């Protein structure tokens, strides 16, 4: 067993690219780009249609059958729209930023296996552009560099709201990429490799989302935050930042950011499919039919696309169901919940994997140990109940302050209240005067002579 583990560590890539030629690489690259661009058009239509059904309205239904050409019409509108450039912007960085975002988003699919090896133009080649022992690290690196496009776009616009959106995106990516990376480490431990083809091969009998369910949940939450989607779209929140880092962009420069967002959604969905949902492998019942016939040839491409769009549906479902978080809630979720939970789960999986591989204890013994720990935890919770927190003391009465003390109006801080409005007092007094009586505010005091 240990020799097999060492062999997997030395040569973890299972895809064989020995018969690939330069024109096969070009064909695969072109197919990936065309697939991503057409998938973005379909994803926009798909999102608008699903959200419309959730809100009981028809959605796109004019251009093309079922409104399928609506996304193409919107793309043409952005292409021919007037292109404006902010006069105070840093011109070079302002133009390069959306290109960085799009270029980095197009790189991820190079290492995603869409299927097993097939016969393509007389060559036996896997349905994957390339693979190497640290392919998942390459995916994380592309995602990390891609955020520079958002940050630089917000900074180069030389405007307040785009700058705030870029800063928010920086903090968001740092916090949620940590949780995402920690959740993926458990997959590396169980699969014994960071190669995407090897990870798919390791899920022949069991998809990793079943034994690694906590890591899968953490990854799903982190991928929504990583792609700036509702309820985590704080870098471009229209209610606070107008449009965030895209506020000063128009025409095709805005379309590039829009394109990068949807391609990143496809990227994280493909990573979830590859690392947790069995990749291109057929579901369990179907994979047993006719000695795994549906795991060979071109059938696996269908299973990969079904899983990919199931995760995309989750994105749309969350957008139509969950409200946007406040920024403090969003950061608390990342730093105080997801990262600690991912660390605890990583330590637990590493301990279990090490003890299982390097000890002589069988599975039944581990089940007894786990049951004993659960019983001990229940006993401790029953006989040593948690102490009740002391009742909070009454807060001091808020004090009034003058909002115009500094010469310009400022809002009250916590513990401060504005003084009562004199106008409200006059309105209340006027409402209490009986009909026909003189208005107190209009009467003059009687002057008594001496």
Give the pLDDT band of residue 144 (cuts 50, 70, 90): confident
d(CA 15, CA 29): 17
Residue 39 pairs with which residues in a beta bridge? none
Q: For 185-209, what is the mean pLDDT?
A: 90
Distances (CA, A) of 201 to 24, 133, 343: 23, 14, 26
Considering only 147-156, 200-209, 402-411, which range has the smallest mean pLDDT? 402-411
Is the Cα torsion angle 307, 104, 21, 38 positive or negative in sign?
Answer: positive
Whether 10 has a pLDDT exceeding 50, the answer reads: no
Pairing of strands 115-120, 399-400: unpaired
Q: For 70-95, what is the mean pLDDT?
A: 84
CA nearest 111: which of 96, 99, 126, 101? 126
DSSP state of 291: G
pLDDT in tens, 91-141: 888 888 889 999 999 999 999 999 888 888 888 888 899 888 899 999 999
- Confirm if 303 and 281 have CB atoms less than 8 A apart: yes
Give the pLDDT band of residue 7 (cuts 50, 70, 90): very low
pLDDT of residue 6: 37
pLDDT in tens, 425-442: 665 655 565 655 555 555
pLDDT of residue 384: 66
Q: What is this structure's pTM?
A: 0.77
pLDDT in tens, 15-24: 778 788 888 9
Burial class (CB in 10 A: 0-12, 13-18, 19+), 80: exposed
- Confirm if 234 and 327 have CB atoms less than 8 A apart: yes
pLDDT over 90, % of the chain: 25
Give the pLDDT band of residue 267 (cuts 50, 70, 90): very high
Considering only 71-75, 207-211, 236-240, 367-371, which range has the smallest mean pLDDT? 367-371
Alpha helix locations (H) across 18-65? 22-54
Whether 78 has a pLDDT exceeding 80, the answer reads: yes
Q: For 259-276, what is the mean pLDDT?
A: 93
Whether 12 has a pLDDT exceeding 60, the answer reads: no
- State whether residue 318 is helix, strand or coil: helix
Is the Cα torsion angle 236, 274, 141, 146 positive or negative in sign?
Answer: negative
- Confirm if 74 and 144 have CB atoms less than 8 A apart: no
33-37 contacts at long range (C-beta below 8 A, 24 or more positions apart): 33/106, 35/109, 36/106, 36/109, 36/263, 36/266, 37/259
- Confirm if 41 and 151 have CB atoms less than 8 A apart: no
Residue 145, token pair as written in the block: 């560099």
Give the pLDDT band of residue 50 (cuts 50, 70, 90): very high
d(CA 260, CA 255): 8
Q: Where are the domains of the chain?
A: 83-113+131-363
pLDDT in tens, 370-413: 667 667 767 776 666 656 656 666 656 667 777 777 777 777 77
CA nearest 38: which of 10, 68, 7? 68
pLDDT of residue 221: 92
Q: For 70-90, what is the mean pLDDT?
A: 84
pLDDT in tens, 159-178: 888 888 888 888 888 888 88
């Amino acid at each position: 067993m240990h020799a097999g583990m060492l062999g997997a560590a030395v040569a973890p890539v299972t895809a064989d690219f020995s018969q690939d030629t330069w024109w096969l690489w070009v064909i695969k690259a072109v197919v990936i780009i065309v697939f991503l661009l057409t998938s973005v058009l379909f994803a926009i239509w798909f999102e608008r249609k699903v959200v419309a059904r959730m809100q009981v309205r028809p959605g796109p239904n004019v251009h093309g059958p079922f409104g399928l050409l609506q996304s193409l019409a919107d793309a043409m509108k952005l292409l021919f729209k007037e292109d404006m450039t902010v006069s105070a912007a840093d011109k070079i960085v302002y133009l390069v930023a959306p290109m960085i975002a799009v270029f980095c988003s197009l790189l991820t699919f190079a290492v995603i296996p869409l299927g097993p090896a097939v016969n393509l133009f007389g060559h036996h080649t896997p349905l994957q552009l390339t693979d190497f022992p640290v392919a998942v690290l390459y995916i994380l690196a592309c995602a990390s560099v891609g955020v520079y496009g958002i940050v630089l776009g917000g900074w180069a616009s030389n405007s307040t709201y785009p700058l705030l959106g870029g800063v928010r995106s920086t903090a968001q990516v740092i916090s949620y990429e940590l949780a995402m990376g920690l959740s993926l480490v458990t997959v590396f431990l169980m699969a014994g490799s960071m190669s995407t083809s090897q990870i798919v091969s390791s899920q022949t009998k069991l998809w990793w989302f079943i034994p690694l369910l906590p890591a899968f949940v953490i990854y799903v939450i982190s991928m929504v935050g990583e792609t700036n989607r509702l309820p985590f779209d704080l870098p471009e929140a229209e209610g606070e930042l107008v449009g965030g880092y895209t506020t000063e962009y128009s025409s095709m420069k805005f379309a590039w950011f829009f394109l990068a967002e949807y391609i990143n959604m496809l990227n994280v969905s493909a990573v979830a499919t590859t690392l947790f949902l069995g990749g291109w492998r057929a579901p369990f019942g179907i994979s047993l039919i006719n000695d795994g016939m549906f795991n060979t040839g071109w059938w696996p491409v269908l299973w990969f696309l079904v899983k990919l769009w199931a995760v995309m549906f989750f994105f749309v479902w969350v957008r139509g169901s969950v409200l946007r978080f406040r920024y403090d809630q969003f950061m608390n979720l990342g730093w105080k919940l997801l990262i600690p939970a991912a660390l605890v789960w990583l330590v637990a999986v590493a301990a279990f994997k090490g003890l299982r591989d390097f000890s002589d204890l069988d599975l039944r013994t581990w089940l007894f140990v786990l049951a004993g720990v659960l019983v001990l935890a229940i006993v401790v919770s029953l006989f040593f109940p948690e102490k009740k927190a002391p009742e909070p003391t009454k807060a001091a009465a808020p004090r009034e302050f003058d909002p115009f003390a500094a010469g310009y109006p400022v809002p009250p801080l916590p513990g401060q209240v504005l003084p009562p409005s004199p106008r409200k007092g006059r309105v209340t007094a006027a409402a209490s005067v009986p009909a026909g009586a003189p208005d107190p505010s209009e009467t003059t005091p009687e002057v008594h002579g001496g």
